[in-house]
Amino acid sequence: MSPKKSFRRSLPNTRRIDAMAKLTREALENLRKENVHEEAITIMVGMGSCGIAAGAKDAYDAFVEELAKAGLDDVVIKKTGCIGLCYSEPNAEVAVPGMPRVLYGNVDCAVARDIVKKHIIGKTPLEGPNALRSGENIEIDEKQQRIVLRNCGVIDPENIDDYIRREGYCAIEKALFEMSADDVLGELKTSGLRGRGGAGFPTWLKWSFTKEASSDEKYIVCNADEGDPGAYMDRSTLEGDPHAILEAMAIAGYTVGASTGVIYIRIEYPLAIKRLEIAIEQAKEYGLLGKDILGSGFDFDIEIRFGAGAFVCGEETALLASAEGERGMPVPRPPFPAVKGLWGKPTVINNVETLASIATILRNGGEWFGSIGTETSKGTKVFAVTGKIAHSGLIEVPMGTTFRDVIYTICGGILGGKEFKAIQTGGPSGGLIPADQLDTPIDYENLQALGSIVGSGGMIVLDEDDCVVDVIKFYLEFSVDESCGKCSPCRIGGRTLYNMLRRISQGAGKLEDIPKMKELSHTMQKASLCGLGQTTPNPVLSALRHFEEEFMAHVVDKHCPAKKCKGLVSYRIIPEKCIGCTLCAQKCPVDAIAGKPREKHVIDQEKCIKCGECLKACKFGAVKYE
């Protein structure tokens, strides 16, 4: 790596692996065949960031204490990554030989102790709301297919042996000893794998550009700078299956002729960073990274570099600048990073999800992967489904699955049984999909036709109580804050769009604002320097396309149908229902409510800041907002 500025963190002192000598191919194969836990009672506790935040550490400790109290030293308990069922964290899976596996949700300390007493000792699984699923494939639904997430919630991400026993490092071995670089590219081309970070560029083609570039050095960069609001697919993958990314980067290095890989990850992902550092050290100790991998003569090493959370660093040229220690700002293309990237050398940049598919494709073949999905969008896609949804979490579905299946079949429908309004895909760079498009198959082309994008995979569900203008204003504010400010179409255009939306939400919008917003959006798409500025108007255009009547209600009628825009909402007290209890007046922070005890109260509209505290305080339904 170049001696320029670097922000590499030294590796921690993790446990030493027993076999200090580098693995041979024969030793690797023998390790794969081991089934050390096949006959043991096993408890797997989801210890991703979401699980830990929900109390998984306490639940894990409760399992350990209860097992020790019962003298059950032969029970295997291990920490895994997130299984994807974020709505029911903490989760724990129990496997007792001769019995169906059971997945439990909302496992607190009391539930953990009950599981040990009743399920482990008493051989009677718990029933009721904590018992989520039972059977052989409890980690997935019928509509899902786990390729990227195949190991998440199954293996211990801090134990390389667990990964190897599930065919880990089989693909790099196959590539090194049975395939040429062109063979690898051929399988990727057959697979139809496209980049999972945004535009969906064919992976094999990107790799081939770097392979054909002439240079004394080349690099493989993993883009783990996941910045979309509501998106956590890459973080969960890294936390649950870090070795899959290391193996894929080594395969990419072999294919294009690179000997160094860089994982660029935001510093806000401490658990993912920790597990990557452990995985890198373990892979080096086994000789699966470093010099002469598996005796093949191929050298490849990986280091980690950190970003400070700038959204613009998801754009590849800004990312490379940041990785070099410079300010993360985009530069015009061409040349593209595949030809001139990190330190000016040819560089392959793929995001986490793209890389997580590589090893499975090489093991099973490109035709197998290409048989999944649609004609133009092959394979599966991971989505983080959040918002007004009953079962929020990570899902992985074949391309072509409909929005209806995602929302109602997999994720349990709208929270509280309310009406579905729209789903936001692609984060700040995406758009809104309305209710009349629920049966649209999800793929790159269909979403683009609707004015949105697949993007990294965030899905935020809106219900009848959400205001489209308010939601789009949020995304514009985010993009404006994250703009690097280098080019005026993004810097000025984004701010102007946001100001228009703010005026509309405050009741000061004008009819001419609607065509002006469309015109400005199209200008930004054409004139902005990088993908951030070019896609910032996408939410505006898609909202105007599918929900223009809601904008018109704000502009013409000065009314917010969802009653979310404070500038268009008023609070008043219904005299017939007011008993003069004074609760509303006591809670009002600006003394806008007048009235004596046991007398009718009145809200001074000039003073009212529309905070809603009076509505919350009233116990008699006397406060109304409209």
Tokens (6 digits) for 417:
């049984």
Query: What CATH number corresponds to the domain at position 188?
Result: 3.40.50.11540
Tell me the average pLDDT of the chain.
92
Last residue of a domain, one of 343, 370, 397: 370
Contact between residue 318 and residue 328 where contact means Cβ atoms under 8 Å apart: yes
Q: Does residue 187 share a domain with residue 310?
A: yes
Q: Is residue 155 part of a domain?
A: no
The Cβ of residue 72 has, within 10 Å, a number of other Cβ atoms equal to: 14
Q: In whole angstroms, what is the distance from residue 558 CA to residue 71 CA?
A: 69
Mean pLDDT across the stretch 332-360? 96
> What pLDDT, in 10s, does the model give residues 125-183?
999 999 998 876 555 567 899 999 999 999 999 999 999 999 999 999 999 999 999 99
> How many secondary structure helices (H) and strands (E) does the chain include?
23, 18
Query: What CATH number corresponds to the domain at position 410?
Result: 3.10.20.600
Q: Does residue 292 share a domain with residue 173?
A: yes
Q: Does residue 472 share a domain with residue 459?
A: no
94 three-class SS? strand
- For 284-299, give the secondary structure using H, E and C: HHCCCCECCHHHCCCC
Whole-number percent of the chain with pLDDT over 90: 83
Domain containing 418 equals 380-463
Q: In whole angstroms, what is the distance from residue 16 CA to residue 139 CA?
A: 31
Query: What CATH number corresponds to the domain at position 590?
Result: 3.30.70.20
Tokens (6 digits) for 475:
């995304």
Q: Does residue 339 share a domain with residue 190?
A: yes
* pLDDT confidence band for 15 (50 / 70 / 90): very low
Could you please report the per-residue DSSP string of 6-63? --PPPPP--PPPS--SPPPHHHHHHHHH--TTTTS-EEEEE-SHHHHHHTHHHHHHHH
Q: What is the pLDDT of residue 25?
A: 87
Q: Does residue 301 share a domain with residue 166?
A: yes
> What pLDDT, in 10s, does the model give residues 548-584?
999 999 999 999 999 889 888 889 999 999 999 999 9
Q: What is the pLDDT of residue 23?
A: 83
Q: Give the range among 32-46, 396-410, 510-524, 544-558 with minimum mean pLDDT.
A: 32-46
Q: What's the number of domains the chain is made of?
A: 5
Whole-number percent of the chain with pLDDT over 70: 95
Q: Does residue 451 share a domain with residue 321?
A: no
Residue 9 has pLDDT above 80, yes or no: no
Q: Does residue 316 share a domain with residue 257?
A: yes
Q: Does residue 267 share a domain with residue 191?
A: yes
Q: Does residue 440 share a domain with residue 583?
A: no
Which amino acid makes up residue 19? A
C-alpha of 587 from chain center: 39
Q: Does residue 298 share a domain with residue 432?
A: no
Mean pLDDT across the stretch 304-317? 92
Q: What is the pLDDT of residue 37?
A: 54
Q: What is the pLDDT of residue 106?
A: 97
Rounded to 5 degrees, φ, ψ at 490 are -80, -50
Q: Does residue 407 share a domain with residue 325?
A: no
Residue 608 has pLDDT above 80, yes or no: yes
Q: What is the pLDDT of residue 133?
A: 84
Tokens (6 digits) for 289:
């990274």
Say which residue the tokens 């830990």 belong to. Answer: 52
> What pLDDT, in 10s, does the model give residues 36-69?
556 789 999 999 999 999 999 999 999 999 999 9
Q: Is residue 249 part of a domain?
A: yes
E strands, 509-597, are 571-573, 593-594
Sign of the CA dihedral 17, 93, 240, 168?
Answer: positive
Q: In whole angstroms, what is the distance from residue 443 CA to residue 373 CA?
A: 9
Rounded to 5 degrees, φ, ψ at 340 are -140, 100
Q: Does residue 351 share a domain with residue 230?
A: yes
Query: What CATH number corresponds to the domain at position 548?
Result: 1.20.1440.230
Q: In whole angstroms, what is the distance from residue 55 CA to residue 61 CA?
A: 10
Last residue of a domain, one of 555, 579, 605: 555
